[in-house]
Amino acid sequence: MTHRIALNFEDGVTRFIEARADELVADAAYRLGFNIPMDCRDGACGTCKCHCESGDYSLGSYLDDAMTEDEAQERYVLTCQMKAKSDCVLSIPAASSVCKVKVAVHAGELAQVRQLSPSSIGFSVKVAEIGQLSYLPGQYVNVSVPGTTQARSYSFSSMPRDGMVEFLVRNIPGGLMSTYLSELAKPGDALSLTGPVGSFYLRDVTRPLLLLAGGTGLAPFLAMLQELQRKGTAEPVHMIYGVTSDADLVEVERLDAFAAAIPGFTYATVVADPNSAHGRKGYVTHHLPEAALHGGNVDIYLCGPPPMVDAVRGHLADKGVKPASFHFEKFNPSENK
């Protein structure tokens, strides 16, 4: 039996390895050419100490000088003494370049473009060797723009399925990728995906979740929800999806399908335009129910433009709520044309 281990390096690059149940994680990494920093192999120096974000494992012997008992309780591990008992995610406190890790490049071709609204475009990519493309729900890749030497960073809006991956992006008038998708794209166009990258991804679900999406910041949450549907969860999950205008509300049918398939998942939509006929007008913070904060016993994930991220952080501070964890990703579409 083997387990899949995600190695998340401090520069955001993620690579996956397969480790046998009887194999030390450090040995599995070295076998595949990934040099996790190490000065010993017997749990004495602590150089290979990492944080295990999720998954089950066992540890061999080690000295207190290498890792304290308190650190072990906080799920720090020594990869030279760690054996995986399930799929795991490890946070490596070193840059990928230091560990001689190259960002993966995956060849693909455009499969479909969907004009979801004047402001939003969905597109799917067929990946040549889909089995080699692994990522954590919420992460992103750099997608090459066909016919140019440039690329744009987009979060996956799905997990790999039937050889395909999907994206949801903002349609920016005059934007390089927007112009390509709206006017020039043809099924079969060759493009590449470089990554995965990013520290915004779904961790193990051990308490209630609050998901806050702004505009096309919905994309990573669609991948997260797909993973929650696959794995299941006993915890309540609530999403608030805020947009500028009625036309910006897209992929609601997918959210309805997730609400029907995932017990405990609920969502609400909010439109900022004061002239909207929508039942909830304003901003996400105006419609954040007290119950969804669970008195701070909640993991919050937020993806949206910088003003939204700052507003949510200010709102929580004003209410005196400190969530158990708060993961966020800011984006500014105007900087990514």
Q: How far apart are CA 198 and CA 220, in angstroms?
A: 11
Q: Say if CB 308 and CB 218 are below 8 A apart.
A: no
How far apart (Å, rounded) are the C-alpha atoms in residues 106 and 283? Answer: 38
Collect all residues with Cβ–Cβ distance below 8 Å to 162 and sequence separation of at least 6.
Answer: none
255-281 per-position pLDDT tens digit: 999 999 999 999 999 999 999 999 999
Per-position DSSP letters for 116-177, written without gaps between them:
EETTEEEEEEEETTGGG----TT-EEEEE-TTSS-EEEEEBSS--BTTEEEEEEE--TT-HH
Rg (CA), the chain: 21
pLDDT at 332 over 80: no
CA 203 to CA 96: how far, in whole Å?
21
pLDDT tens-digit profile of 160-203?
A: 999 999 999 999 999 999 999 999 999 999 999 999 999 899 99
The residue to which tokens 């909207």 are assigned: 276
Query: What is residue 302's three-state secondary structure?
Result: strand
Spatial CA neighbour of 265 closest among 323, 222, 315: 222
What CATH number did the domain enclosing 218 receive? 3.40.50.80
The strand pairing partners of 201, in sequence order, are none
Query: Under DSSP, is residue 307 helix (H, G, I), strand (E, B) or coil?
Result: helix
Whether the pLDDT of residue 72 is over 70: the answer is yes
Answer yes or no: do 193 and 213 share one domain: no
pLDDT band at 333 (very low <50, low <70, confident <90, very high): low
Average pLDDT in the chain: 94
17 Cβ partners below 8 Å, 6+ apart?
4, 5, 7, 25, 28, 29, 32, 34
* pLDDT number for residue 40: 85
Of all residues in the chain, the percent with pLDDT exceeding 70 is 98
Q: Is residue 256 part of a domain?
A: yes
Q: Cα angle at 200 between 195 and 205, to 5 degrees?
A: 120
Whether 213 and 331 share a structural domain? yes
- Closest by alpha carbon to 13, among 175, 180, 157, 199? 199
Out of 171, 197, 223, a domain closes at 197
Please indicate, yes or no, if residue 261 is contained in any of the structural domains: yes
C-beta of residue 99 within 8 angstroms of C-beta of residue 34? yes
**Same domain, yes or no, for 316 and 260?**
yes
266 and 317 in a single domain? The answer is: yes
Per the structure, the count of domains in the chain is 3
Domain range enclosing 51: 2-92
For residue 64, give the CATH number of its domain: 3.10.20.30
Q: How many CB atoms lie within 10 A of CB 30?
A: 15
Indicate the pLDDT class of residue 334, thresholds 50, 70 and 90: very low
303 assigned to some structural domain: yes
Say whether both 119 and 169 belong to one domain: yes
Are the CB atoms for 51 and 90 separated by under 8 Å? yes
Q: Which residue, of 197, 221, 236, is where some domain finishes?
A: 197
Q: What average pLDDT score do residues 217-245 get?
A: 97
The structure tokens 């105007």 sit at: 334
In a shared domain, residues 76 and 123? no
| HSE of 113, CA atoms in CB hemisphere, 13 A | 21
Could you give phi then psi for residue 73, rounded to 5 degrees?
A: -65, -30
Domain boundary among 138, 169, 197: 197
Considering the domain architecture, whether residues 264 and 312 belong to the same structural domain is answered as: yes
**70 and 118 share a domain?**
no
Q: Is residue 98 part of a domain?
A: no
**Would residue 97 count as lying in a domain?**
no
